[in-house]
Structure formats: C-alpha cells, structure tokens
Amino acid sequence: MKATVEIRTNVYPEALRTTAIREEKGGIISYKWVEKRSAEEKESLYELILDTRRNKATVKRSGNIKSELEFKAGEETLGGIYTFYGLIPVKIITEQMNMPSAMSETFEMTYRLNSGDDELVKNTFSLKRLLQNPNC
C-alpha cells in the first residue's frame, strides 16, 4: 500500500516527505521509495527492510551509487558502497535502533560508518510514516 513518509538524516539539512510503498508480513516491514534531493542528483531507489523480530534493519540503494547496509543495534556489521570508483567496504557500528510499534510509526537509528581510515561518519536516520496525507 502507498504511505506518506518523512525521512530525516544528518546528510541533508531538510527532511524529505515522499510517497513510499509499504508492505508488512510476518514481522517484516518494508518501505520502497525514490529519492532525488537536488536537480544535480540522479534518482535513487531505496528499500528499507525492518525485521522487527530480530531487531535488524537493511537499507538497499540502487542508482548511480549502489549499496546494501545491514544494521543491528549494539553490533558491528559489514557493508559495501559501490561508486564510480569501485567498491568501498564499510564497517557499520549501530549505536541504537528503535523499531516501529503500536505506539509509534517511527523507525530511528544512530550509527557510525568506517571505510578503513581513522575518520568515522556518524549519522542519525529516521523514517516516520505519516498517518495524514500532507503534500509531498
């Protein structure tokens, strides 16, 4: 079913409101949406898969930059970002994660990425399902 969502990330100063395809079955919630934040960017297709039973999230991105990143609260996982320059392997350190529940339709996580150097990139990501249909 279609759902209006609000996506926030430290990468962009403004939240993105867009329409996503939402599916839920057997403890798995998935969202798929197209993202283009500026005229210079090309469209990217995103898929967020939330495994509420295992407290795990997977983010897949396709387009000019491709990635598949897995997040587990309190754990380190490995992922890869495929760019014009080739594969960049990353270590993902997920600090905290809040899954959607009957009390809140919001998914939120805080994590750090390390691509092999000493510099860590810290980010907070959230996706909130909006129950009313504001203009996207």
Which residue type occupies 115?
S
Please check whether residue 120 is in contact with residue 110, taking contact to mean a CB–CB distance below 8 angstroms.
no
Q: What is the pLDDT of residues 86-106, one digit of tens each?
A: 999 999 999 999 999 888 889
Please check whether residue 124 is in contact with residue 112, taking contact to mean a CB–CB distance below 8 angstroms.
no
Give the CATH number of domain 2-130; options: 2.40.128.20, 1.10.3720.10, 3.40.47.10, 1.10.1040.10: 2.40.128.20
Burial 36-58 (b: 16+ CB within 10 A, else e): eeeeeeeebebbbbbbbeebbbb
Q: What is the pLDDT of residues 23-71, one digit of tens each?
A: 999 999 999 999 987 778 789 999 999 999 999 999 999 988 899 999 9
> What is the three-class DSSP state of 101?
coil
Please check whether residue 90 is in contact with residue 69, taking contact to mean a CB–CB distance below 8 angstroms.
yes
Say what the pLDDT of residue 42 is.
Answer: 85
Which runs of E-coded beta strand occur in 1-136? 2-9, 16-25, 28-35, 44-51, 56-62, 66-72, 76-83, 86-98, 106-114, 120-130
Please state the domain extents for the chain. 2-130
User: What is the C-alpha R_g of the chain?
Assistant: 15
DSSP secondary structure code for residue 38 in this structure: S
Say what the pLDDT of residue 12 is.
Answer: 87
Q: Residue 134: pLDDT above 60? A: no
